[in-house]
Structure 1
């Protein structure tokens, strides 16, 4: 095959262009720290990167959902603790008021304090977080308890669940009807009336005290159940944290360039490129006048 001057020149320019492209790729890797800057450079790396980043984004969304779950459960627990202390105070006042040394005026004072506690319990039952009632199940737009004598309870008991992992929804609310139910407010109203009028009787107060103790026991059981779910939430958070670390490590292995190797490749390519330029200069240098001499 006859090799002409134009063929040598074209091949030389093509190889120089390819060399420039390789130099450009290595310089991009060195500047960005990434193996590729566009999918066409390595479709496999690009596709794996999209898949890994999708998993990471999903994990990050679950972690944001965890924040909402913690918000509900922390505020629910705070309300239950407050309610527990309030009912224990009522229990103490009943035992105190049953003392025969207390006068009618003393019992009226106790009744007034119990009235304030009852109103406070209504406020706790109607606790709102981020504009939503946390003790009314899924009906978060309406207050579960209306003021009255006694207060009127209209409680939604459906589970308010938050998705905290793939296919896993965790209940984050407490069953408000087990804590702030109609029976509780009826009991508080009965205790208040029993101390404030002439119908006071030790036997009747004993029955109300027994009812109150049952309510306190139910409240403590609900707190324990909520605490168990809180512990599970912490375990899920720990697992999601580990998953995030592993996902970022996989993304780094897939996409991050080996800087030491890139520098070595860049230096080698620069040497090859200089050699190609030198040879190309020798090939392209002759002109028509050189052949006519």
Structure 2
């Protein structure tokens, strides 16, 4: 069967092709303006699915990065506080050695030692109540406003740990058990300083207290080592997450974005093709007298 092709049919087909070409030019113009290869899911269904997965991974990595930043800040604060505690205990030991070697201590010298030791106790209490944000770093998992009350009672808790997730399956503990660093009750460093002061005031030789001070320093150094390991892990995770963020952004951009040079080239090619199609169609489909009469 022979189908009759009329001039009107030919013109309709040509018009349809020209409209498709104009739509393509408009689409490429939009791409060149926004530099987005995917502006709606129908542009590239497979690419859209990939982009959604990458964005999900980016959101997860961003949360891990925030957790790592928090862990680094928390543990750095703890490490700095422990360094201060170690320094104070060093001064306590020096003073105790001096007091133990002063066999003929005058009342004024004794009072000077007592005042300085009491000041160092206040420094220790201040360090023990160091905060990161609103949390006391030596309160363990407790949200208590202060790890140690003014009477040096520990208000923390070691029943659980404060954990930060810094990667898929990777966690780091950020809290520190203050009772293991400073002790509690009669075995705390605060009680030790009170005992040293009491010995001085009673005229008792304080030399035997040096072993207790050394034990307290060992506890602080142990805590420093533990915090240092956790801090190092958080720093490593922080660096790894920065690299991962860059990689994921590259993957997302490769799927969703369009290079400016490529966008301009595609637009120029399509514009040229469209103009050529207009010119050819205008020559092939010359209007006739019947077209005007219709």
TM-score (norm 1): 0.90
Mapped partners of 1:79, 1:264: distance in 2 = 60
Aligned pairs for 1:271-290 (under 5 A) are: 271-282=272-283, 283=285, 285-288=287-290
Aligned pairs for 1:194-273 (under 5 A) are: 194-196=199-201, 198=202, 200-202=203-205, 205-273=206-274
Is the Cα–Cα contact under 8 Å of residues 9 and 284 in structure 1 kept in the other structure?
A: no
Is the Cα–Cα contact under 8 Å of residues 144 and 156 in structure 1 kept in the other structure?
A: no
Is the Cα–Cα contact under 8 Å of residues 71 and 231 in structure 2 kept in the other structure?
A: no
Is the Cα–Cα contact under 8 Å of residues 25 and 267 in structure 2 kept in the other structure?
A: yes
Aligned pairs for 1:69-88 (under 5 A) are: 69-88=71-90
- What RMSD over aligned residues (CA atoms) do the two structures have, in Å? 2.0
Is the Cα–Cα contact under 8 Å of residues 49 and 251 in structure 1 kept in the other structure?
A: yes
Aligned to 2:150: 147
Aligned to 2:195: 190
Which whole-Å deviations, capped at 9, do the CAs of 1:2-55 have from their partners, x for residues lacking one?
012221122111111110111112212222222222221111112211211221
Aligned to 1:129: 132
Q: Does 1:169 align with 2:183?
A: no
TM-score (norm 2): 0.90
**SS of equivalent to 1:266:** helix
Shift of 1:73: 1.0
Which whole-Å deviations, capped at 9, do the CAs of 1:84-128 have from their partners, x for residues lacking one?
111111111111011214223312221121112112212221222
- Higher alpha-carbon deviation: 84-93 or 246-255: 246-255
**Gap runs ≥5 in structure 1:** none
- Higher alpha-carbon deviation: 255-264 or 96-105: 255-264
Is the Cα–Cα contact under 8 Å of residues 135 and 143 in structure 2 kept in the other structure?
A: yes
**Gap runs ≥5 in structure 2:** none
